[in-house]
Structure 1
Amino acid sequence: MKVIDLSYTISEESKVFPGDPTPQLQIINTIEQDGFKQTLLTFVTHTGTHIDAPAHVFKDGKTLDAFLPESFIGAALVIDYHNKSPITMDDLYATGDLYKQADFLLFHQSDGQYLQDYAVLDEEVLDYLVHAPYKGIVFDVMSIDPIDDETLYRHKKILQTNKIMIENLKNLSQCGHQLFTLYALPLKMKASDGAPARVMAILDA
């Protein structure tokens, strides 16, 4: 068994969506003074590697804590589109039938572009994902939408189906092009619109 960590470490240097506050990690107790250490964390729910729930874009949308635990675990496949814009069904067809066997599709761009100029799904792919029985759609960039798209059009299309969406992953190039098991376990917070997650790929050795 091979385990690959697909998550970014949350720190005060973490990249955030433009306009969001950066994480703050404040040590409030020290071993020297108190005999134990504690840190006060302050960050938005969509910091680092995180999961979006429908409540992120819909007033009465399903919150992340309302999803069953099995919603965050399943067969996964990386779709490598090499910064090609837009992402088309041909990128899925290139995997043969594997894309139909996955619970999660992980869209991987070439390493580099992160906050801007990344590819997005074309309308045909978006419609396919809306109607297909995936548990979640995953990206290694900051957003499924272009950074300057204030309508959040693609967020709404996907999240209206009560799928989850996972954004801001790393190390997808290490997962190969075979099916593997994905564990994407978010912090469990009441009525959450989203939450940071520890996301792992489990590959056969």
Structure 2
Amino acid sequence: MCTDIPPQTTDPAGAAPAPGARITRRTALLGSAGVATTGLLGVSSAPLAAADARRSRPRRHDHLDLTHTLGEDFPAFTPGEEAVRRPGNTFAADGYYQQRWDIYEHTGTHVDAPAHFNPDGRYVSELTPQELLVPAVVVSIARRAATDPDTVVTVADLREHERRHGRIGDGSAVLMYSGWGSKVPDPDAYRGAGTDGALHFPGFGADACEWLIRRRRIRALGVDTLSIDPGNSTTFETHTILNGAERYGIENLANLHRLPACGARISVGVIPFKQGSGGPAKVLASW
């Protein structure tokens, strides 16, 4: 949400977290996934200046799809967890057409519900329309990510964004644009599998996540990578903080380079699986 307030030189007193929110630095119970060894690939910096220019001068009254097409070839966080597509019904045999899919809840463009990293958190079916129809703010770290795949969104990045575009509004979804979406056709590059056995791609720093929850009362974080945590995380601290505070994440977003830095709204149409920790989503933006 864009505002006309002057740039801030100091942080205002933050509002208290919502009742029951648990914003702690506890680590997750999950370990890092083992990965195959490949070389790291950087983000091409050639289109970044043009993309930043488009985002700073958005057209008014436009619409945008932020969703990747989900197929068997879409990269998974853990190899072997890619979607599986099977034949269903055909016009020739049945007079109508449908397919059968075998997918994990966290596949393709998807939502991480609070239950994903919070044993007491809400399931995806319990997210409300007020949480899923929200203002969107895009914070770009693409220039830094082009040379440092392990970079994260920091509190300094958020303050700089506010200096240029105004205060991040309460109830917003804050989306990280790293340029990583261009790597989706190459699963190894998108995962950033390194010789050290870790993944390497950008995410949100834990400090930035906690600052956004406490100071700006955001509803969600979103990224154009496989995880809201950086790929080299072994503790998933950002997930734990976000889901522990009953907020949700959106991963594998597309076309963030075409979204304005502020002023858009997004609609997150997530599949409401029974007792779901998350689910594939159709994410649309308008401004």
TM-score by length of 1: 0.90
Find the partner of 1:143 among 224, 227, 236: 227
- Deviation of the 1:35 alpha carbon: 0.7
Give structure 1 stretches of 5+ with no counterpart: none
Asked if 2 retains the 8 angstrom alpha-carbon contact of 1:105 and 1:136, the reply is yes
- Deviation of the 1:124 alpha carbon: 3.1
- 1:86-127 Cα distance to aligned partner (Å, 9 max, x none): 322222222332423661111110244632332333343132
**Cα pair distance change 1:60/1:127, threshold 3 Å:** closer
Asked if 1 retains the 8 angstrom alpha-carbon contact of 2:135 and 2:171, the reply is yes
Equivalent residues in 2 for 1:184-195 (5 A)?
Answer: 184-195=268-279
- Deviation of the 1:144 alpha carbon: 1.6
Asked if 2 retains the 8 angstrom alpha-carbon contact of 1:140 and 1:168, the reply is yes
Higher strand proportion (structure 1 or 2): 1
**Cα pair distance change 1:91/1:146, threshold 3 Å:** closer
Find the partner of 1:64 among 111, 114, 124: 124
Partner residue in 2 for 1:109: 178
Q: What's the % identity of the aligned pairs?
A: 25
- Deviation of the 1:63 alpha carbon: 0.7
- Deviation of the 1:185 alpha carbon: 1.2
Asked if 1 retains the 8 angstrom alpha-carbon contact of 2:132 and 2:268, the reply is yes
Asked if 1 retains the 8 angstrom alpha-carbon contact of 2:205 and 2:230, the reply is no
Q: Which amino acid aligns with 1:115?
A: R
Partner residue in 2 for 1:161: 245
Equivalent residues in 2 for 1:2-21 (5 A)?
Answer: 2-21=62-81
Partner residue in 2 for 1:200: 284
Q: Which amino acid aligns with 1:183?
A: S
Please identify the structure whose Cα radius of gyration is greater. 2
Aligned partners of 2:262 and 2:229: how far apart in 1? Answer: 27
Aligned partners of 1:127 and 1:50: how far apart in 2? Answer: 22
Give structure 2 stretches of 5+ with no counterpart: 1-60, 184-188, 193-199
Q: How many positions carry a matched residue from both structures?
A: 203
Find the partner of 1:45 among 80, 90, 105: 105
Aligned partners of 1:87 and 1:69: how far apart in 2? Answer: 27
- 1:50-94 Cα distance to aligned partner (Å, 9 max, x none): 000121122232111112122111111110012162322222222
Partner residue in 2 for 1:182: 266
Asked if 2 retains the 8 angstrom alpha-carbon contact of 1:77 and 1:98, the reply is no
Q: Which amino acid aligns with 1:95?
A: H
